[in-house]
Chain A
Amino acid sequence: MTKLPGGIAPSQITSREVFMSRRALLAGALAGGAAAALPEARADTPPASSLKPLKYTLDRPYSVSLKPTPYEDITGYNNFYEFGTDKSDPKANAYTLRPHPWSLTLAGEAEITGTYHLDDILKTQPLEERIYRFRCVEAWSMVIPWVGFELGALLRRFKPTSRAKYVEFTTLFDPQQMPGERDSILPWPYVEGLRMDEAMHPLTILVVGLYGEVLPNQDGAPLRLIVPWKYGFKGIKSIVKIAFTEQQPRNTWNIAAPDEYGFYANVNPNVPHPRWSQATERVIGGGWFARQPTLMFNGYQNEVANLYRGMDLHRYF
């Protein structure tokens, strides 16, 4: 393990009082995670209450004022092919994942690189709650109260060089912990990528929690990406590596089906998937007749449209 770069910018120095209180809470949270990872302590599907609460601040400017989707639906209905391809599979099977201790490698075009304990990285990273719209490429949607921090804040600590044009993310590859990786449905490990300006955008977050608690395994514990104006598959889960690259990285769904899933994957009601329309979406938890129009950039047009000015969004889908 490399020593983590700390105190890079004065604005990032946390006051001692805040630091100590956050440390105590995180230690508790992560100890809870460790206990859950012990075989004898582990239930097949740990109840939500076994996940420790996190300390965070509310972030109103970037949050939407919509009623969040029920916790049961967010944690019981999602895609995480590493645990099976049915949307109820992740909840049923993700108990085999051991999210603590966890190592995160920073690599590529940056002044500081190395492999770190995730705890060490999180220790100095203030958390906030962001209530975001979530739009799956399969034309369903949720509203999710994530807890995390801006990806850009983390990336800057590693001083990317001028050659860093993109950021590439990699999920854990360990078929023992992720049995779905034994099936060749997708090329493993799952990889994703962002352009540097997308990665640095304040809406782009790394997530460690959900509904104020530690992120459950099936939603991508212990660390996942959320880019709210892109389709859900961009939000890579259980990240073990973040690399700065000069070339545009490939992303798993694009490798698997290049004519159906692009690199950008921006939510766009005007560009249909080759097989289905993206103009509307089914709202999960909305019961019967729960279809609503899909918004351009998933409703984040004011914040992100300028990133794609002049780009042909039909071509760069």
Chain B
Amino acid sequence: MLSVDKRYRFLYKPVVFAASLVPAALLAAGAFNVLGASLGPDPVARLLHACGKTALNFLLITLLVTPVRQLTGFTHLIRLRRMLGLFALFYASLHFLVYLILDQVLNLHAVLQDIGKRPYITIGFTALLILIPLGVTSTQKMMRRLGRRWLRLHQLIYIAAIFGVWHYYWQVKRDVREPLLYVAMLTLLLGYRIVTRWQARRRIASKPRVSPSLRPSE
């Protein structure tokens, strides 16, 4: 039986890494028509939307790690979180590059106008800007160097996730059923944190009121 350390290094991490590249591989197959795959009549829109939605999926999966650890006791799942977060950044960056290069054909004037004038693009771009420093400071070295500030900084992922889902909801023409599903999932994930933090605070606040003599012997 391998140690947890080795299982992560040689099995879980490589498997999750490979699985995380599957969406990109499928899109690449469609783009280059490998084995009859195709992105359909509007390949740029298809690529753009698929990368964006995959980025959102990875953001939500990243935010799922903490609740799953706490609820199941599989605390070592934390070892996968950085990779999942980096894949969120990877797909969000692809999403932006597809928009910049393929959709807007590098028309920087139009792109800047979009970012400045179209609120849904403004918040989407903001979400990407937030993810970049989180990716840069995701190394062990940066964690050590930033200390307590690292946690504070990385709580920005909540803002990035809210802006990302909002960006998706806002650009849909009429049928918001799927964006609403993302809103619901994000609400659950953030709501879990609000509730657990509130409970923790209450436990701390109520502690002094309990007289030591009434405590059950430990």
Map CB proximity to B onto A65-97 as digits: 1 under 8 Å, 0 otherwise.
000001011001100010001011000000000
A118 CB → nearest B CB, Å: 30
Report whether A282 and B174 are in contact in the complex, using a CB–CB cutoff of 8 Å. no
Contact of A140 among B45, B174, B175 (CB under 8 A): B45
Report whether B104 and A291 are in contact in the complex, using a CB–CB cutoff of 8 Å. yes
Residue A35 is within 8 A (CB to CB) of chain B in the complex: no
- Among B36-90, those with CB < 8 Å from A are 40-45
- Which residues from chain A contact B102 at a C-beta distance below 8 Å? 288-289
- The secondary-structure label for the interface of chain B is helix
Report whether B118 and A276 are in contact in the complex, using a CB–CB cutoff of 8 Å. yes
Cα A87 to Cα B41 in complex, Å, equals 10
How many interface residues does B have (CB within 8 Å)?
Answer: 23
Report whether B45 and A282 are in contact in the complex, using a CB–CB cutoff of 8 Å. yes
Residue A185 is within 8 A (CB to CB) of chain B in the complex: yes
- Which residues from chain B contact A72 at a C-beta distance below 8 Å? 41
Residue A121 is within 8 A (CB to CB) of chain B in the complex: no
Residue B139 is within 8 A (CB to CB) of chain A in the complex: no
Cα A277 to Cα B112 in complex, Å, equals 12
Residue A248 is within 8 A (CB to CB) of chain B in the complex: no
Report whether A257 and B174 are in contact in the complex, using a CB–CB cutoff of 8 Å. yes
Given contact pairs A282-B45, A282-B103, A289-B105, A275 touches B40 in the complex (Cβ within 8 A) = no
- The secondary-structure label for the interface of chain A is loop
Given contact pairs A277-B114, A282-B103, A291-B103, A186 touches B42 in the complex (Cβ within 8 A) = no
Map CB proximity to B onto A270-284 as digits: 1 under 8 Å, 0 otherwise.
001001110110101
- Which residues from chain A contact B142 at a C-beta distance below 8 Å? none
A183 CB → nearest B CB, Å: 8
- Which residues from chain A contact B42 at a C-beta distance below 8 Å? 77, 87, 140, 282, 284
Cα A275 to Cα B171 in complex, Å, equals 7
Residue B173 is within 8 A (CB to CB) of chain A in the complex: yes
Contact of A277 among B113, B119, B120 (CB under 8 A): B113
- Among B176-210, those with CB < 8 Å from A are none
Report whether B170 and A275 are in contact in the complex, using a CB–CB cutoff of 8 Å. yes
B-contacting residues of A (Cβ < 8 Å)? 70, 72-73, 76-77, 81, 85, 87-88, 138, 140, 185-186, 256-257, 272, 275-277, 279-280, 282, 284-285, 287-291
Contacts A288-B102, A290-B44 known; 11 new A-B pairs at CB < 8 A: A70-B41, A81-B174, A87-B42, A88-B40, A185-B175, A275-B170, A276-B114, A276-B118, A282-B45, A288-B43, A291-B104
A-contacting residues of B (Cβ < 8 Å)? 40-45, 102-105, 107, 110, 113-114, 117-120, 170-171, 173-175
